Structure 1
């Protein structure tokens, strides 16, 4: 414990996505057993409330048929195998639906806590798992103490709920043994549903608190030191896949910024379908600047944004191709295109404000 505390105190950085993904691949996820218990209890309550009359009826019919025709069954040789198989299939046919319900609840209990995990690491044999010293540490650890406390609390709570529900029904329970079997089943189901509902309500609070505790402890275990963060960053920088992903992200951000500048452009010059170059100019600028450019699909998007923002679109194929090849985004246009661009911007500005326009300096 003394060695682990300083190490944990040095973990001051939130875990990276890579650290979380690696933990997930190893099967190290935040999982509360109390949440699983809650779902299994819910599934059991559903089975008890909705299927118990049907299950009782099916079993009763099968057993009644056996008892009424017991003298007609051949229990010698192959006849005994047929009799046993028929009885086994009858029982399996009754219990398969409850088993499916519980299986679905078990899967949901995991899906609500974390993504699907496909890992053999948790079940891989390790010496630390069979070490007597390691076993003693786990037995007397803080987790074991917390689990022991939770177990005691649940036993006390469930016992109190059973007593609280059954005590008012004590008179009915006394006469249940002399009642009709069908009435016994109905009374038993009614009392059982009350117990399930009450226990489920209490377990809900316990499961929520336990998941929060487990999640916080798991997150704290995944935290990283400053040195680990630096080393991981260096490793990621050297990974070609990561480099490609970072480059793609930078390109996406640059494209978004470029598209956001189109509504503020002065004019968009097209060729008219393959290329589009958006230029911006005002009196404070020495020369027009390219704020966006693109080919094919990007050009189409630039034209659409220009139409939506009432930015003039001028078709000039030679100029559009020349600007697309010679100027980058956020750069002023080259000097050899001043005259052609001046004519376009002058035309656009005259439409808005007669007499205005940009002229290249001599």
Structure 2
């Protein structure tokens, strides 16, 4: 009852911190069937594109081997040397398709979890050496489910293989006495039918398993309201989190400030060290307002945005320095700077054909 109550109280979505901790421990909502599906799909691509040409190049070598069996020394060294040569020829011909298959399997894993390595899974732990816990893990409910899934896959693939191979079984005498090239072509078509059938079935299995794995992972990761509150309290006391929050707030404030520059009436500059953007509306403002200000790189960005949007840029070093030191963003200009600012605003408004009301 307590476990059921505990599960029913987990009504909240997991926080990013809990998801990150789960990923560090190697826990992901993923299925191995995606990798298997990609490998079989890659095998079909190889079968249709590159394998026919590869096998065609291998046939003369294999024919030479079978036609000269009587000339091979039947001692251990002779047979071993010939087999080694045949294996080298086969590996040389198939190394690229094999590499392609391995790449498809790796993509199946990376596509679901990214380039994340769980060092906690790799690190040695004494608990893993405990035989009692190891035996208990073998007979756990999850292992039982995995075993049933594996048996079901084997059964389904076996049925598909039987359906694909049955026509060949009825005409097995057809393969007796045909040459190597014809045999490889027949096997090529048979393998294609077999892989296509398995791929179709595996599409359903992979889709169902991925849905189940995501559902199980989401259910496992859910949190109670109290867990979410405790995590937020813990995060608020973390200096790294506080620093990150301050940084995000600063970045958002800077973006809002830069977004206000195109609507300014004039930008007063140092000209290189300071820039202050001013806006004045006689209907709504008692005095001109500072909508953006910055030094060095920020000042350069303000001037750049102003020039791109046709906002006048005027050099007045004393006024730029004074306004930068005396005013904050969205504050009106102090009364001691009214005269200097009024001269700038009046000049700009005359250029634009606007009237200035006192």
Shift of 1:357: 3.2
Distance 2:325 2:135 in 1: 70
Q: How does 1:72-91 map to 2 (within 5 A)?
A: 73=73, 75=75, 86=85, 89-90=88-89
Shift of 1:105: 1.9
TM-score, length-scaled by structure 2 = 0.83
Q: How does 1:237-248 map to 2 (within 5 A)?
A: 237-248=236-247
Distance 1:351 1:330 in 2: 25
Match of 1:310 in 2: 310
Shift of 1:126: 5.6
Match of 1:7 in 2: 6
Contact 1:73 1:83 in 2 (8 A): no
RMSD, aligned CA: 3.4
Match of 2:186 in 1: 187
Does residue 282 in structure 1 map to residue 281 in structure 2?
yes
Contact 1:12 1:226 in 2 (8 A): yes
With over 3 angstroms needed to count, the CA separation of the structure-2 counterparts of 1:157 and 1:240, relative to structure 1, is same
With over 3 angstroms needed to count, the CA separation of the structure-2 counterparts of 1:175 and 1:201, relative to structure 1, is same
Q: How does 1:139-288 map to 2 (within 5 A)?
A: 139=139, 141=141, 143-144=142-143, 146-168=145-167, 171-283=170-282, 284-288=284-288
Residues 8-59 of structure 1, C-alpha deviations (whole Å, 9 max, x = no match)? 3333332222222222222222220211221232344445554376358638
With over 3 angstroms needed to count, the CA separation of the structure-2 counterparts of 1:354 and 1:160, relative to structure 1, is closer
With over 3 angstroms needed to count, the CA separation of the structure-2 counterparts of 1:65 and 1:157, relative to structure 1, is closer
Distance 1:60 1:121 in 2: 52
Deviates further, 283-292 or 159-168: 159-168
Q: How does 1:332-343 map to 2 (within 5 A)?
A: 332-343=332-343
With over 3 angstroms needed to count, the CA separation of the structure-2 counterparts of 1:129 and 1:217, relative to structure 1, is farther
Contact 2:63 2:180 in 1 (8 A): no
Match of 2:101 in 1: 102
Residues 342-362 of structure 1, C-alpha deviations (whole Å, 9 max, x = no match)? 22222333444565334xxxx
Equivalent position SS for 2:314: strand
For structure 2, the 5+ residue unaligned runs are none
Deviates further, 297-306 or 2-11: 2-11
With over 3 angstroms needed to count, the CA separation of the structure-2 counterparts of 1:88 and 1:168, relative to structure 1, is closer
With over 3 angstroms needed to count, the CA separation of the structure-2 counterparts of 1:57 and 1:139, relative to structure 1, is farther
Equivalent position SS for 1:118: coil
Deviates further, 130-139 or 275-284: 130-139
Deviates further, 269-278 or 237-246: 237-246
Match of 1:349 in 2: 349
Distance 2:59 2:27 in 1: 43
Contact 1:59 1:91 in 2 (8 A): no
Distance 2:137 2:289 in 1: 69
Distance 2:153 2:34 in 1: 13
Shift of 1:258: 0.4
Distance 2:86 2:172 in 1: 32
Shift of 1:230: 3.0
TM-score, length-scaled by structure 1 = 0.82
Contact 2:270 2:318 in 1 (8 A): yes
With over 3 angstroms needed to count, the CA separation of the structure-2 counterparts of 1:309 and 1:330, relative to structure 1, is same
With over 3 angstroms needed to count, the CA separation of the structure-2 counterparts of 1:304 and 1:228, relative to structure 1, is same
Match of 2:54 in 1: 54
How many residue pairs align between the two structures?
A: 355
Distance 2:136 2:47 in 1: 40
With over 3 angstroms needed to count, the CA separation of the structure-2 counterparts of 1:3 and 1:231, relative to structure 1, is same
Distance 2:169 2:104 in 1: 33
Equivalent position SS for 2:332: coil
With over 3 angstroms needed to count, the CA separation of the structure-2 counterparts of 1:51 and 1:175, relative to structure 1, is same
Residues 242-265 of structure 1, C-alpha deviations (whole Å, 9 max, x = no match)? 333222211110011001111222
Distance 2:74 2:199 in 1: 48
Distance 1:246 1:154 in 2: 49
